[in-house]
Amino acid sequence: MTLMKEPDLGTPAVAGEATVTVEIDGMPMTVPPGTSVMRAAAMTGIDIPKLCATDSLDAFGSCRLCLVEIDGRKGTPASCTTPVADGMKVRTQTPRVEKLRQGVMELYISDHPLDCLTCSANGDCELQDMSGVVGLRQVRYGYEGENHLDLLTDSSNPYFDFDASKCIACSRCVRACGEIQGTFALTIEGRGFESKVSAGGVDFMDSECVSCGACVQACPTATLQEKSVVELGMPTRSVVTTCAYCGVGCSFKAEMRGDQLVRMVPYKDGGANEGHSCVKGRFAFGYATHPDRELEPMIRESITDEWQVVDWDTAIEHTARKLLEVQAQHGPGSIGGITSSRTTNEEVYVVQKMVRAAFGNNNVDTCARVCHSPTGYGLKQTFGTSAGTQDFKSVAEADVIVVIGANPTDAHPVFASRMKKRIREGAKLIVLDPRTIDLVRSPHIQAQHHLRLQPGTNVAVVNAFAHVVVTEGLVDQDFVDARCEGFEEWAEFIARPENSPEATEAISGVPADELRAAARLYATGGNAAIYYGLGVTEHSQGSTMVMGMANLAMATGNIGRDGVGVNPLRGQNNVQGSCDMGSFPHELSGYRHVSDEAVREVFETLWGRPILPEPGLRIPNMFDAAIDGTFRALFVQGEDIAQSDPNTKHVTAALAAMDLVVVQDLFINETAKFAHVFLPGTSFLEKDGTFTNAERRINRVRPVMAPKTGMHEWEIPCRIAQAMGYEMSYDNPSEIMDEIAAVTPTFAGVSFEKLDKLGSVQWPCNDAAPTGTPIMHVDGFVRGKGAFVPTTFVPTDERSTRKYPLILTTGRILSQYNVGAQTRRTANVAWHPEDVLEIHPHDAEVRGIENGDMVSLASRVGETSLKAVISDRMPVGVVYTTFHHPVTGANVVTTENSDWATNCPEYKVTAVQVGLRTPAGPAQDVARQDIPMAVD
Amino acid sequence: MTHAVNPQVRLANEIAVQFHHRPTDEAAAAIAQHIKLFWDPRMKADLLRRAETEAASLDPLVLRAVTHLRP
């Protein structure tokens, strides 16, 4: 339930042509077959009373409030469960149905607390509304009979309460948990009068609930209510904006009281999420006003000095002067910058412009370097551009879903819900992952094939898939002949015996028979879609693997229509955008190489400065050059490289070696400990701009409050550039987007005005596609013909040894996000207060490790300590941890190994040893961690 | 902790390994092209220096590629 009401037509839309005409209270309406009478009525402007119906859920027909009369039919059918029929005449207001509705309401109200004036949902309660709508004037049964008014409130969840005394047992929460979220944590326990909503017989916190908020959203009363609303009261205004967390890019209504954010409510018209949310976007926004947040600029001469608070003018002048001094002493290439995927397109664009135009070099890189840079390389080589091929909706048309190196239920939970819905409808699922992630087996989900490959063997496995396709005659030859090039050479390569499943079994550990079955399913099961994550990219052959997946999709014709494609699941909310904006040192915006003279001329003409034709330093190269002494100053925008980047000792040695480190962030993060200038950034609630999500959807980020720092983040690089002698100014961020559109062909049609009008667009958006491009490569690839690229498997140098016999792989967990700077400053720590090491029972047993013991985790570059969690979700020989907490320092042990093409770190393969450090005492508690459980 | 092997040597060798299956001349040209497209000039210069002074540490394909990178 939400105060800022969006239209609710009662039941979901039905796809298809409107061919059925009905008459409702004398008003004609034509709708697609299968549409409910309730929805058809709502489309004519007639709202039939309802309680258990809402258009985000399938019709249920339990509340009996939506009864209508239909000419020629007996009785009073529920309009939510009755489909229209041609010529049907419906009457929604008759003495008969009015009397029935009043009777139903009397029963509800006779067992409901009559505390409306003090209820937290006062003014936002459908039960209250419906009492008025049906004209309830009396409750003949009184209030003294048997009732549920003494039921207790479950306040265990940090974000919402469950007040059972106000429950009307409409099942909307139960259905939302199942139909929308796909978790099935809730049920109706008991029968008849004893029926009650239950989180599986335990409180919400100890249940399977993932706190996505779908139940709270669906609840028509105050039964499930945000604690913030209970504490603060109902919001009074609403601003549609975009989530600051993962690459799904959910649209939310930020609901406010004055300048105080009361709650975030998922927006039904949001193209990415269509009204759904996860625990992070829905509830974990408290970091924006956390006391740790720095709001004033600070400087210091040495990193051992105390910070000195200064005003903005002083900070800007100081930063510019220091940058110029470094350049004067060490040359123009001695400074550079890093852009962030947590900032807007406009904020990213001005940083890379500052580097290229004011710094006069190409030493700009983005944090996508350490996550999806191989996607950029691999998809550009094969398809012609760095872009996921589909929109999220496309998964609803997939018949076979292949998830490779991704854990969507934790890292991209709102998209995972879409995916799970399609799987429940019958789509087949293939999972390639060393770990038994939740998707492999969860309520109503069972992967047809879980290929539990050894870390580091992705390319061997994808080659074996393709080998089956080519050698068993499963190639879509018409597609290949018409749309692709290089097939013959590639097919000859892939058909070699060394690429057969039988040959790769010894390398990957994937049984040949199962791989063959999975490959056949992918090639012949209908629309087949690949979704992948950092388990693909963060390898020494990350780029090769991306090309391998692209080869596979082209060979089977699974490109260019709904339900297919190759889809990177981007980690942070604006990974796609930060890459689009020219953040890579070799590319200007729109993925155009700096060596292209015609492209450089466009920028040089507009910017009035020459652009160097050779690439600048990538992030790992910056670190190496810093230690080498040729790179001396770094501007870091919203990224904590000292925590997130691999081989922490190497990173911190590089930072310590620099003359000047400038950090622009919300908090004094790990990197800021090495900084000489701290420039406070703005939270997403203060930003005005755009984010681009993993489906290339450009969404508006709208400010709900003024910058708490006194300066918009996009203004900071502009002012530094000005202070360095380069004129760079804008009146507002829409002017920045206008400049982006002017220099970037794929953004040529994008403007704030268009985004405000359409809601969002997916690039390319230009004259050829004025409202955007949901599906790419429909009639041809961006590069013309799709290119097959041979992908020889080359094992990583990182091997398990006698000294380091286990392989560590890292990732994230549902309740936390990236380095945890945001989520650690919210109540989400209730689920994940510390990083833990997941280890297989056998590996634990031979080391004498028990659940909850403190263990040492050591690699050839470093050592750290953390708690062990024994889990048979792990294969023998592989351990796993997250990197959300700096105290753990997971990246202390990860190495300098990287993707050969892009230098994306090989986070997913580190040879380690694990040893018992301190046995767990009885008081040590790991029970509330998101502990992986056995699945069989 | 810093790396024992020079970064440019390590990175070039890592690229070369990916091209071992290709004919030598083709592989060398591809490696050189990759380095031209993605490496900062100071990295290329360092690689060229090391090809002179510590050729033994470089993959033979890198040494072939270097001939394409010399001005």
pLDDT single digits (tens) B6-32: 999 999 999 999 999 899 999 999 999
Q: Determine the distance in angstroms separating the CA of B36 from the nearest CA of chain A, rounded to an integer.
A: 8
Same domain for A611 and A532: no
8 Å CB contact of A630 and B38: no
ipTM: 0.95
* CATH classification at residue A895: 2.40.40.20
Same domain for A474 and A409: yes
The residue length of chain A stands at 936
- Is residue B31 a part of any domain in this protein? yes
Q: Which of residues 627-686 of A touch B (CB under 8 A)?
A: 627, 630, 647, 649-650, 653
Parent domain of B36: 7-69
Q: What is the pLDDT of residue A889?
A: 79
> Helix (H, G, I), strand (E, B), or coil: what is residue A869?
strand
CB A131 within 8 A of CB A63: no
- Is residue B49 a part of any domain in this protein? yes
Contacts of A206 (CB under 8 A, 6+ apart): A156, A199
DSSP secondary structure string for all residues of A147-199? -STTPPEE--SSSEEEEGGG-----HHHHIIIIII-----EEESSGGG-EEEB
Residue B71 contacts A where some CB pair is shorter than 8 Å: no
Residues of A with CB below 8 A from B61's CB?
none
Q: What is the pLDDT of residue A792?
A: 95
8 Å CB contact of B38 and A901: yes
Same domain for A593 and A503: no
Q: What is the pLDDT of residue A302?
A: 96
Q: Determine the distance in angstroms separating the CA of A614 from the nearest CA of chain B, rounded to an integer.
A: 7
Sign of the C-alpha dihedral computed for residues A194, A197, A199 and A202 taken in this order: negative
If one counts the domains in chain A, the total is: 4
Residue matched to tokens 């008849």: A192
Residue A902 contacts B where some CB pair is shorter than 8 Å: yes
Same domain for A643 and A513: no
**Where would I find the beta strands (DSSP E) of A830-929?**
836-839, 854-858, 863-870, 878-882, 910-918
* CATH classification at residue A663: 3.40.50.740
Please state at what angle helix A512-524 crosses helix A458-471, rounded to 10 degrees. Answer: 60
Same domain for A401 and A350: no
- Is residue B42 a part of any domain in this protein? yes
Q: What is the pLDDT of residue B3?
A: 53
8 Å CB contact of A593 and B34: no
Same domain for A593 and A489: no
Q: What H or E segment, with its residue span, contains residue B32?
A: helix B24-38
8 Å CB contact of A649 and B40: no
Same domain for A685 and A559: no
- Is residue A784 a part of any domain in this protein? no
Residue B48 contacts A where some CB pair is shorter than 8 Å: no
Q: What H or E segment, with its residue span, contains residue A65?
A: none
Q: What is the pLDDT of residue A922?
A: 46
Nearest to B34 among A362, A585, A901 (CB): A901
Same domain for A600 and A522: no
- Is residue A424 a part of any domain in this protein? yes
- Is residue B57 a part of any domain in this protein? yes
Q: Which two tokens stand for residue A882?
A: 């997250």
Residue B38 contacts A where some CB pair is shorter than 8 Å: yes
Residues of B with CB below 8 A from A657's CB?
none
| Cα→Cα distances A779→A20, A761, A784, Å | 34, 20, 10
8 Å CB contact of A544 and B3: no
- For chain A, list residues with pLDDT below 50: 1-3, 922-936
- Chosen for mutation from A796, A900, A902 (greatest number of chain B CBs closer than 10 Å) is A900
A644-682 pLDDT, tens digit per residue, is: 888 889 999 999 999 999 999 999 999 999 999 999 999
Residues of A with CB below 8 A from B36's CB?
595
- Is residue B58 a part of any domain in this protein? yes
One-letter-per-residue 3-state SS of A718-772: HHHHHHCCCCCCCCCHHHHHHHHHHHCHHHCCCCHHHHHHHCEEECCCECCECCC
Cβ pairs A/B, distance under 8 A? 67
> Helix (H, G, I), strand (E, B), or coil: what is residue A357?
helix
What gap in Å lies between CA A640 and CA A779, rounded to an integer?
41
Per DSSP, A391 falls in state: -
- Is residue A35 a part of any domain in this protein? yes
Please state at what angle helix A715-723 crosses helix A312-330, rounded to 10 degrees. Answer: 50
Same domain for A534 and A453: yes
* CATH classification at residue A124: 3.10.20.740
What gap in Å lies between CA A135 and CA A78, rounded to an integer?
19
- Chosen for mutation from B26, B35, B38 (greatest number of chain A CBs closer than 10 Å) is B38
Q: Residue A58 carries which side chain, given as an amino acid letter?
A: D
- Is residue B1 a part of any domain in this protein? no
Q: Which two tokens stand for residue A394?
A: 């496309």
- Is residue B38 a part of any domain in this protein? yes
Q: Residue A311 carries which side chain, given as an amino acid letter?
A: D
Same domain for A602 and A494: no
Nearest to A861 among B1, B10, B43 (CB): B1
Q: Determine the distance in angstroms separating the CA of A904 from the nearest CA of chain B, rounded to an integer.
A: 12
If one counts the domains in chain B, the total is: 1
Same domain for A622 and A501: no
Q: Residue A760 carries which side chain, given as an amino acid letter?
A: S
CB A859 within 8 A of CB A894: yes
Cα dihedral A408/A412/A418/A424 (nearest 10): 20
Q: What is the pLDDT of residue A767?
A: 96
Parent domain of A841: 806-918
Q: What is the pLDDT of residue A931?
A: 44
What gap in Å lies between CA A680 and CA A698, rounded to an integer?
26
CB A382 within 8 A of CB A508: no
- Is residue B2 a part of any domain in this protein? no
Same domain for A560 and A421: yes
What gap in Å lies between CA A585 and CA A617, rounded to an integer?
6
Task: Report angle CA A640, A743, A633 to the nearest 5 degrees.
Answer: 30
Residues of B with CB below 8 A from A627's CB?
2
- Chosen for mutation from B19, B39, B40 (greatest number of chain A CBs closer than 10 Å) is B40
Q: Residue A712 carries which side chain, given as an amino acid letter?
A: H
